[in-house]
Amino acid sequence: MRSRIWPILRKEFLEIRRDPRSLAFVLAMPVLMLLLYGYGISSDVKRVPLAVYDRDGEARARELTRRLTSTGYFVVATRVGSLAELRRAIDRGQARVGLTIPEDFSRNLAAGRPAPVQFVVDGSDSNTASIAIGNIAAIGRSIELDPRDLRPEVSLRPARDNPAPLELRTWVWYNPELKSSNFLVPGLTAVILMMLAAILTSLTVAREWERGTMEGLIASPLRPYELMVGKILPYVLIGLVDVVLILLVGVFWFRVPLRGSLLLLMLSSTIFLLGGLGIGLFISAATRSVQVAFQFSILVTMLPALLLSGFFYPIENMPPLLRAITALVPARYFLVVIRGIFLKGVGLAVLWKELALLSLFAGLMLVASSAKFKKRLE
Amino acid sequence: MKPRSRVMTLVKKEFIQIRRDRRLLPILLIMPVLQLIILGYAVSSDIKHLATAVCDLDRSPSSRAFVDRFATSGYFDIRYRTVAEGQIKDLMDAGRVRVGIVIPPRFAARLARQETATVQLLLDGSDSNTANVAQGYVTQIVNAEAARIALERLGPKGVLPSTVDPTVRVWFNPDLKSVNFMVPGVIALILTIVTMTMTATAIVKEKERGTIEQLIVSPLHPYQLMLGKAIPFVIIGYADILIVVLAGLFWFRVPMAGSFALLLILSGLFIMTTLGLGLLISTVSQTQQQAMMLGFFANPPFMLLSGFIFPIASMPEPVQYLSYLIPLRYFLVIIRGIFLKGVGLEVLWPQALVLLLFGAGVLTLSALRFRKHLG
């Protein structure tokens, strides 16, 4: 039996070797993606371009703008002289937030009255907009002006005469500097592995169908599971090489701390990879063309792994139906595992449930694709 | 045969092949709707219902009132009330809570004596994004509470410092619905997948099967061959636009502020680019697998670096420069501008011009390569 798997393994390796371009691609791409997205994706909304329409023109108004920009959340992209210009700047996307400071701003402050200012936010990017609104509210509150202090050069000063009644002490565990790469790199590993696994196998079988070589394999004395093992093993190996590459880049380039067990990490990556390969195999057994297999794998692996796994968007915030769907996304469990091992340094005692689910999923996928093959054979 | 009818014959052949694959056309047409649903509902920046553990070591009416401020804010779901601080760490290890709030003993006593009471906030930093937002919420709540207490302490003769009073108005998308933001993006994404990857694989498929030689020896010009291969996917791409726009208008109630005709025309400019890229991919790959992989890996950069989800202005500078090379960046400005802002060419002409140049450049380059490749 072992000898029957061996030839198909060899055949698969030969095909991979015959196509060095694909192999190079599969090995280089994950690292490139990790580098690109490790830097490219930023969780915080900073440097939002601001258009300022300052009708006051006094020092206090300038101080307000300075306050807004000194937080790093806003940069002054343009100063405009009329409301129409403000509108145009936002229409063009030159600015996402417009600030209008009314003529009586300084006078109001000097008189000790609340000084209204108006912000206009471009809501077409709802994400940036809602974060910007939060920042505006926070900054607005923090700029408290002391009415007794009328000297213009020090006019904006937080009023703090009494001891603050409450003090907040924040401790951030696992990632004290809140480095986003510590958050992104483990997550990206899951996304990349899922995509890779699916694309690797979704095409191998579909290709055999397209070329008409599948019939040859079917006519051979191979059992379905032997065919599957032979098809999957080479890609498990390639996938593991990718895992190692990704881990090296994560640990040595992005300096993500690896606090847990490397062995457990490799083991769980292998289980996850098997599940991904299983999905790919199932897709490609179910569809006879490369193009359909490709569409399916984007739909079933890339989008869920990116969006429904909790990689970036917390699952708690999704509507109930979508939250229920995320229970079926294996990347969701792997993310808990990989973040747990990397950042929290936890082990099997905490992660056994997720690992059990991942193993169950991998097993189910492999059995299902095996069954799919069998049905095709009859 | 006239050149035009030659192209039409090829288009017909292509459609027959697409239809023969029973699953391809349905998935190409259903996919946009599924993407819209996932993206529209999953991608949301408002972080609410954070799983929270509270450890109230004071257990006084004022500490309970303080905890209630968190519970009623809507941002925090208080799932656990623990007795010991150490339990929070265990809960966080297991991923059951992301936020821990510890109120020290003598909280109420300190407040009563006009001293500063310390509140401890524990955050799970492994999701730095959520941790940041949670920290912001907690700070807001604590500050508001501190201001309230400070005012109480000042008594009736207390003067509140005057403040800058910001009012915020939101244009274009007043409810800040993320679906409104996503619908235009999904159109762009779908066009990329359908016109770029599908065209590339359709051509490479002929190579793999060896039928490309037949097409080469036929009286078809290379450019006719290219057109014939591309037109079906352009048609499907436009059908997808229609589906997404209809689903957006009638299911998700996304307003369409601008001109639909302009949207269709400018989509054509974007399709020029994606088709060009598709042809380019077809000339550098020998197998469908290679073409797929190129397409597959070209997709995430389109999604992640174009401003589709993450704002470009917040990216590090080198990555921002890189995003200039991604045609989707310009198309997104156009399509969101038309959809949500209702602006026209008078505002969008720079982006349209860049797309036109992009499209013309890539298309010419790939046409030249394609010809040489066939010859």
SS3 of B15-46: HHHHHHCCCHHHHHHHHHHHHHHHHHHHCCCC
b vs e for A60-79, b when ≥16 Cβ sit within 10 Å of the residue's Cβ? bbbbbbebbeeeebbeebbe
Helix segments in chain B, DSSP class H: 3-20, 24-42, 61-73, 85-93, 107-112, 128-154, 178-191, 199-209, 212-217, 222-246, 260-284, 288-305, 317-323, 327-336, 345-374
b vs e for A116-149, b when ≥16 Cβ sit within 10 Å of the residue's Cβ? ebebbbbbbbbbbbbbbbbbbeebbbebbbbbee
pLDDT in tens, A252-290: 998 888 888 999 999 999 999 999 888 888 888 787 777
Residue B81 near residue B54 (C-beta atoms within 8 A)? yes
C-alpha A166/C-alpha B121 separation (Å) is: 12
Q: Within a 10 A sphere around the Cβ of B262, how many other Cβ atoms?
A: 17
Three-class SS state of B114: coil
Which residues of chain B fall short of a pLDDT of 70? 1-4, 44-46, 154-166, 373-375
pLDDT in tens, B304-350: 788 887 778 777 788 888 888 888 889 988 988 888 888 888 888 99
Residue A93 near residue A48 (C-beta atoms within 8 A)? no
Residue of B nearest to A128 (CA): B311
Residue A152 pLDDT more than 60?
no
Q: Of B21, B116, B297, which has the smallest distance from its Cβ to A167's Cβ?
A: B116
Residue A153 pLDDT more than 50?
no
User: Which residues have CB under 8 Å from A189's CB, separation 6+?
Assistant: A34, A243, A246, A247, A250, A269, A338
Determine whether the interchain pair B45/A127 forms a contact, defined as Cβ–Cβ distance below 8 Å.
yes
Is the model more confident about A113 or about A94?
Answer: A94
Average pLDDT over residues A330-357: 90
Question: Minimal Cα–Cα distance from A281 to chain B, Å?
Answer: 14
Chain A neighbors of B343, CB-CB under 8 A: 91-92
Say what the pTM is.
0.78
B169 φ, ψ (degrees, to nearest 5)? -115, 140
Residue A176 near residue A251 (C-beta atoms within 8 A)? no
Lowest mean pLDDT, pick from A145-159, A338-352, B217-231, B263-277: A145-159
Of A15-24, A177-186, B333-342, B355-364, highest mean pLDDT: B355-364
pLDDT in tens, B41-65: 777 656 778 889 999 998 899 889 9
Nearest to A365 by CA among A298, A276, A232: A276
Interface with B, mutate which of A166, A318, A357 (most B CBs under 10 A)? A166
Q: What is the model's pLDDT at position A8? A: 80
C-alpha A283/C-alpha A269 separation (Å) is: 21
Output the CA torsion sign for A81, A82, A85, A87.
positive
Cα angle B342, B345, B349 (rounded to 5 degrees) comes to 125
Is the model more confident about A248 or about A66?
Answer: A248
Tell me the pLDDT band of A154, cut-offs 50, 70 and 90.
very low
The two tokens of residue B329 are 């960046």
ipTM: 0.75
Q: What is the model's pLDDT at position A265? A: 93
Q: What is the model's pLDDT at position A155? A: 35
pLDDT in tens, B138-160: 887 887 788 778 777 766 655 55
| Contact residues, B window 245-304, toward A, CB-based 8 Å cutoff | 285-290, 292-297, 299-301, 303-304
Determine whether the interchain pair B24/A350 forms a contact, defined as Cβ–Cβ distance below 8 Å.
no
- B216–A contact, CB cutoff 8 A: no
Q: Of B94, B161, B178, which has the smallest distance from its Cβ to A350's Cβ?
A: B94
